[in-house]
Structure 1
Amino acid sequence: MPSNTAPRAVAVLLSALALSACSAQPSHAFARATTPSPTPSSAIPTVSPSPTAKPKPKSLAWYVAQVPTFPPAPVPVPVQVASSGPATVWSHVPTDQKVAFITIDDGALARPADVPEFIRQAHIPVTMFLNSPAATEYTDYFTRIEATGAVVGNHTIDHPELRGRSYDYQRREICGSADKLQQLFGKRPALFRPPFGEYDHTTAQAARDCGATVMVNWTETVNEGYVRYQTPEKVVKPGDVLLMHFRPALMDDLLGALKAIHKSGLTPALLADYVPGLTDPPTAEGDLPPRR
């Protein structure tokens, strides 16, 4: 009788091979991780660098950005003036140095809010010729400008035309304003500008008696950003004095003056640096000559 051992052995062997084959397949729990295919570059959102924002036109930043780059100002060489007698009169500073001077008058009509900061950021050397009532009412505003290095000059109390008036009248207008400006800013003005640029010998003498060394008029005027020349050559010359006022368009006037000075190959400078002795002006009415 044939033995059934061989068939059973074959069956066992086949069963073992089947189990071995199954155990060689990876289980679902440990299936090989697949590497995700790269995302197409077209599908990746790109962030473009934002361009530098341009200042809003007529903003403070816009005005500052418009200021030309000037060469360094030369070391100032003061111009000698008489130490006695009537005040010296300048409409043009007698210097060959490549500088021009920015002056601002009055103070009562308008005081644009950004002007002090514009002067500070743009490093504009300015001289203010103030009427004393405006200086009294808006002292904080003008003090902010003075803090930039600006100099306060005298422009009378009531802004009258002085030419032809008596010495007493002129002295009252000039000395009265000088007294108040000294009280407000701590220094007696050594620069004086006659209203409307009108003066006579009496004006010059009263100005000196009230502490002013120099009476300053002007060579060019600036209004609403436009420079108006008083000579046929449309150019700012060394030593020229530019006049503007505390008006609504003062920011444009300052910028217009700076561009005209730059176009002429000059650098703005501080007027007081060209007048000797301004660091030690008379300190009080009592230091002045007696009233005549």
Structure 2
Amino acid sequence: MGWLVRKKAVGAALFGLLMVAGCSSGGGSSSAPSASAPSGKASGAPAKPSPGDDKAATEAAYRKWGLKPFAAPPAPPAEKPVHGKPGEVPVVSDIPTKEKIVFVTFDDGAEKDPKFVDMMRDLKIPFTMFLTDDIIRGDYGYFKPLQALGNSIENHTLSHPNLRTLGEAAQKNEICTQEKKLGKEYGKAPGLFRPPYGNWNENTRAAAKSCDVRAMVLWRESMQISNMQYQRGDKKLHPGDIILAHFRGPKELKGTSMTEMTANMLRHIQEQGFTVARLEDYV
């Protein structure tokens, strides 16, 4: 029996050596998961944020500005609802829709408050800028971070004149030259145009068409300091309304900052049960 015991001991030793060799070999495999990399999860892979984390971050960003998060806007329509007559540039003050959405626009470009850039980066609210060259040429760069957030830069003439006082050739110069300037500065020629003061005539429409403008954009409400001015008698927002605001600072706003004015506007929108959509998705 002694030889049998010795044979079993030698066999056990050989089996142990083979197991050690197999574990140390780079080409070996094992059905057991590695202790350093749990099954189903790559070693060192960063954890993905949960929807709860995103919601908490959004709420914190809005709370910073004294606001509550907006509901997400509906998906834009497959076909844009604004159409002009054949050969004619449409003029719109609101967008045909039954959704409880409105559209926010900012004009001119006089106030260049860096806190407004921070605010829009935090809130991620879509808006459209209608800019005048005489007002922005000292600092074209201010508007680029706002554009980088996905907000388009559109045409508001070279010098902000009352276009009704100009002939068609002069109006064409105001619109077409600004198209070229904005295209050069911001990488894309505008498709939308807003006449200063909302004043226009058929010469304006003809000039805009010759400058490849696809629509002239007016408004239904205008934001002042803490309240809105309404065109309709019921003094309420309606689905598809376009809201006018301005790049204005404490001097024009009687001590109120642009971010405070914007927060006031957003509260009015939210209190009436609306959310904000992107104008360029509809025009």
TM-score by length of 1: 0.69
Distance in 2, matches of 1:182 and 1:268, equals 26
Instruction: Report the residue type matching 1:269 in the other structure.
Output: A
1:261 paired to 2:278: no
Shift of 1:234: 2.9
Instruction: Report the residue type matching 1:73 in the other structure.
Output: P
Counterpart for residue 88 of structure 1: 90
Shift of 1:220: 0.7
CA contact (8 A) 1:227 1:256 kept: no
Counterpart for residue 17 of structure 1: none
Indicate how the Cα distance of structure 1 residues 255 and 183 shifts in structure 2: closer, same or farther if over 3 A, else same.
same
1:181-234 CA distance string (max 9 Å, x none) = 000011110010000000011111211211211111111111223222222223
Counterpart for residue 67 of structure 1: 67
CA contact (8 A) 1:68 1:258 kept: no
1:149 paired to 2:157: no
Instruction: Report the residue type matching 1:69 in the other structure.
Output: P
Shift of 1:141: 0.8
Counterpart for residue 229 of structure 2: 228
Bigger Rg, which one = 1
Distance in 2, matches of 1:187 and 1:175, equals 14
1:130-150 CA distance string (max 9 Å, x none) = 002333321111001111111
Q: CA RMSD in A?
A: 1.9
CA contact (8 A) 1:86 1:206 kept: no
Instruction: Report the residue type matching 1:242 in the other structure.
Output: I
Counterpart for residue 190 of structure 1: 191
3-state secondary structure, aligned to 2:163: coil
Q: Aligned pair count?
A: 215
Tell me, which stretches of 5 or more residues in structure 1 are unaligned?
A: 1-60, 276-292
Indicate how the Cα distance of structure 1 residues 82 and 101 shifts in structure 2: closer, same or farther if over 3 A, else same.
same
Counterpart for residue 163 of structure 2: 162
3-state secondary structure, aligned to 1:163: helix
Distance in 1, matches of 2:158 and 2:261, equals 25
Counterpart for residue 16 of structure 2: none
1:36-56 CA distance string (max 9 Å, x none) = xxxxxxxxxxxxxxxxxxxxx
Shift of 1:260: 1.4
Distance in 2, matches of 1:121 and 1:240, equals 24
CA contact (8 A) 2:82 2:95 kept: no
Distance in 2, matches of 1:184 and 1:135, equals 11
Shift of 1:84: 4.9
Instruction: Calculate percent identity across the aligned residue pairs.
Output: 36
Indicate how the Cα distance of structure 1 residues 123 and 82 shifts in structure 2: closer, same or farther if over 3 A, else same.
same
Instruction: Report the residue type matching 1:117 in the other structure.
Output: D
Shift of 1:65: 3.8
Counterpart for residue 76 of structure 2: 76
Distance in 2, matches of 1:94 and 1:112, equals 33
Distance in 2, matches of 1:187 and 1:200, equals 26
TM-score by length of 2: 0.71
Counterpart for residue 175 of structure 1: 176
Counterpart for residue 251 of structure 1: 259
Tell me, which stretches of 5 or more residues in structure 2 are unaligned?
A: 1-60, 250-256
3-state secondary structure, aligned to 1:243: strand
3-state secondary structure, aligned to 1:215: strand
1:123-182 CA distance string (max 9 Å, x none) = 111100000233332111100111111111100001000015211010000001111000
3-state secondary structure, aligned to 1:149: coil
Distance in 2, matches of 1:214 and 1:63, equals 36
Indicate how the Cα distance of structure 1 residues 274 and 142 shifts in structure 2: closer, same or farther if over 3 A, else same.
same
Distance in 1, matches of 2:178 and 2:152, equals 15
